[in-house]
Amino acid sequence: MSKTENFVHKKFDGEHTGHDWWHMYRVWQLAKHIAREERGANLLIVELAALLHDIADFKFHNGDIEAGPKEARKWLMSIKADQKVIDHVEDIIRNISFKGSEVSNNLKTLEGKIVHDADKLDAIGAIGIARVFAYSGAHERPIYTPGEKVASHKTVEEFLTSKPSAVTHFHEKLLLLKSRMCTKTGREMAIRRHEYMEKFLEEFHSEWEGGS
């Protein structure tokens, strides 16, 4: 675990788009917390998958969905992890990423569901708000474009080619995550974070129109 922690920490040092080491760190902590609540999960799989889940994001590898699983496999082989562990972690990473509002995930195991929920919880709430604006700024997208249409995406290609404002991203993705949680603990934790985002958007629109 500590070798993997160092590897991921080094790899994400200097990343400032919200996909940084601290995202990996928070997802790792959240995943451990959910695993303790849910009981019965293999903690080694949960922790490795949490740390490695964004190791090579398909969005930054020309949409190559296999980039992440491949990179994780390479790393786990280099530290001589068990073949079964490698296969399981690789499968979780392949299936965890949000690929559009009408594209469902394919997570089969409790360990996968836990890491999925940990990752999505870090996309909502106060941290989620911070991350969406960091991402939008880093990718030269506006904070808000009044009148912009919210698209629903049936394929990952549609999702990837859209370049919405940060506020539109709330509607395209962040506000949908609460109902896509896969564990009881994740669902419960998502409620407060979701309400916080709704409040934020209410304030945002009120201020935008010159309100108090």
With the C-alpha atoms ordered 139, 143, 147, 149, is the resulting torsion angle positive or negative?
positive
Provide, rounded to whole angstroms, the least separation between the CB of residue 211 and ligand ADP: 24
Residue 54, interface with Ni ion (CB under 5 A)? yes
Q: How far apart are the first and last CA of the chain?
A: 49
Residue 38, interface with ligand ADP (CB under 6 A)? no
Provide, rounded to whole angstroms, the least separation between the CB of residue 95 and Ni ion: 13
CB atoms within 10 A of CB 131: 21
- Candidate residues 38, 41, 75, 97; the one interacting with ligand ADP per rule CB under 6 A: 97
Provide, rounded to whole angstroms, the least separation between the CB of residue 183 and ligand ADP: 16
Given the rule CB under 5 A, which of 2-10, 117-125, 127-135, 176-184 is the region that contacts Ni ion?
A: 117-125
Phi/psi for 156 (5° steps) reads -65, -30
| Total chain residues near ligand ADP (CB under 6 A) | 15
Judge whether 165 and 142 are in contact, CB under 8 Å: yes
- Residues 161-200 binding ligand ADP (CB under 6 A) are 164, 166, 169
- Candidate residues 4, 18, 28, 56; the one interacting with ligand ADP per rule CB under 6 A: 18
97, interface contact from Ni ion, ligand ADP, none, CB < 5-8 Å by kind: ligand ADP
Cα-trace Rg, the chain: 17
Residue 110, interface with ligand ADP (CB under 6 A)? no
Judge whether 141 and 164 are in contact, CB under 8 Å: yes
Residue 94, interface with ligand ADP (CB under 6 A)? no
125, interface contact from ligand ADP, Ni ion, none, CB < 5-8 Å by kind: none
Residue with tokens 């991921």: 8
Q: How far is CA 33 from CA 26, 53, 114, 138, 154, in A?
A: 11, 17, 9, 31, 33
